[in-house]
């Protein structure tokens, strides 16, 4: 069994820019692979089943949970999300270098189970005001949802000290470069 596989897990409050950063890294570093998680939320326009997520019902999710199919699972904004145990173990054995955004509960659980094979990277917004600006600019959420996201952001940011690395997403190109250096440093 090879030990060279590694899983870079990215967490950040909603609106910080983690999807933007991960999409750029996947384009710029073609060896990176994004694991496909399970979720009970509905697909958004343009999202494809088995590519963006495995979209499943709450009943299917519960059945998989009871069978022990998940290495971690969490509830995020009323939907369930989980990482497949079998998928991650197989990819790590193959030596895959993976990157995926996972919420803070799931990320810390992954670290507990997989130890050094998981590298936790927390992306922080330059300020709470800028975070709110980005959420507003993204134009996806109403006022109440924005407030919920800002409250959740405080709780998530309190977990940042438990991460292996912290990166501030001020200028996007700097954040991407910093994460590339982190990946390089761990990829042996
Ligand atoms: P997340 O995946 O963390 O919820 P997104 O990647 O959707 O966040 O980014 C939220 C919004 O902020 C998007 O409109 C995105 O274009 C913008 N954004 C991302 N990074 C930056 C940055 N460094 N500076 C300014 N705007 C950014
Ligand atoms: P979205 O629905 O916007 O894709 O993701 C919502 C939140 O769920 C994000 O914080 C994202 O990081 C988190 N998430 C995505 N996949 C997983 C997963 O497999 N496990 C956990 N715990 N969280 C996930």
Q: Where are the domains of the chain?
A: 6-187
pLDDT greater than 50 at residue 1: no
- pLDDT at residue number 4: 82
Q: How confident is the model at residue 187 (pLDDT cuts 50, 70, 90)?
A: confident
- Spacing, Cα 140 to ligand 2 middle (Å): 17
- Torsion on CA atoms 81, 86, 92, 98, rounded to nearest 10: -30
Q: Name the residue of 23, 47, 127, 134 to mutate for ligand 1: max ligand atoms within 8 A of Cβ.
A: 134
Closest atom, ligand 2, to C-alpha of 82: 19
Q: Are 13 and 127 in contact (CB under 8 A)?
A: no
Q: How confident is the model at residue 40 (pLDDT cuts 50, 70, 90)?
A: very high
Query: What b/e sequence results for 96-123 when a residue is b if at least 16 CB atoms lie within 10 Å of its CB, and e otherwise?
Result: bbbbbbbbbbbbbbbbeebeebbbbbbb
- 10 Å CB burial of residue 166 (0-12, 13-18, 19+) is middle
Place of tokens 């069978």: 67
Instruction: Answer whether 178 contacts ligand 2 (Cβ < 6 A).
Output: no
Instruction: Answer whether 153 contacts ligand 2 (Cβ < 6 A).
Output: no
pLDDT greater than 60 at residue 2: no
Instruction: Evaluate whether the domain defined by 6-187 bears CATH number 3.40.50.300.
Output: yes
Closest atom, ligand 2, to C-alpha of 41: 2
Q: Are 61 and 82 in contact (CB under 8 A)?
A: yes
- Spacing, Cα 172 to ligand 1 middle (Å): 8
pLDDT greater than 80 at residue 143: yes
Instruction: Report the chain's mean pLDDT, rounded to a whole number.
Output: 95
Closest atom, ligand 1, to C-alpha of 171: 23
Instruction: Answer whether 34 contacts ligand 2 (Cβ < 6 A).
Output: no
- Spacing, Cα 114 to ligand 2 middle (Å): 18
- Spacing, Cα 20 to ligand 1 middle (Å): 6
- pLDDT at residue number 188: 66
- pLDDT at residue number 180: 98
- Spacing, Cα 101 to ligand 1 middle (Å): 14
Question: Alpha helices, DSSP H only, in the chain?
Answer: 18-28, 58-67, 85-94, 104-114, 128-138, 143-157, 172-186
Q: Which residues pair with 65 in a beta bridge?
A: none
Give the Cα separation of 102 and 79 in Å (integer).
Answer: 13
What tokens appear for 120 in the block?
């936790």
Q: What predicted TM-score, i.e. pTM, was given to this entire model? A: 0.96
3-state SS assignment for residue 18 = helix
Ligand of minimum distance to the alpha carbon of 170: 1
């Amino acid at each position: 069994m090879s030990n060279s596989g590694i899983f870079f897990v990215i967490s950040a409050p909603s609106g910080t820019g983690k999807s933007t950063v991960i999409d750029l890294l996947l384009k710029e570093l073609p060896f990176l692979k994004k694991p496909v998680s399970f979720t009970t939320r509905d697909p958004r326009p343009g999202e494809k089943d088995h590519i963006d997520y495995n979209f499943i019902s709450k009943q299917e999710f519960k059945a998989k949970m009871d069978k022990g199919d998940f290495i971690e699972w969490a509830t995020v904004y009323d939907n369930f999300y989980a990482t497949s145990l079998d998928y991650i173990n197989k990819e790590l054995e193959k030596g895959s270098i993976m990157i995926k955004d996972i919420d803070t509960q799931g990320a810390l659980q992954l670290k507990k189970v997989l130890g050094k094979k998981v590298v936790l990277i927390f992306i922080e917004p330059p300020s709470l005001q800028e975070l709110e600006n980005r959420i507003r600019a993204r134009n996806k959420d109403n006022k109440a949802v924005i407030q919920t996201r800002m409250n959740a952001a405080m709780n998530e940011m309190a977990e940042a000290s438990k991460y292996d690395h912290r990166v501030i997403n001020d200028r996007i190109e700097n954040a991407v470069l910093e994460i590339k250096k982190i990946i390089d440093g761990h990829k042996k």
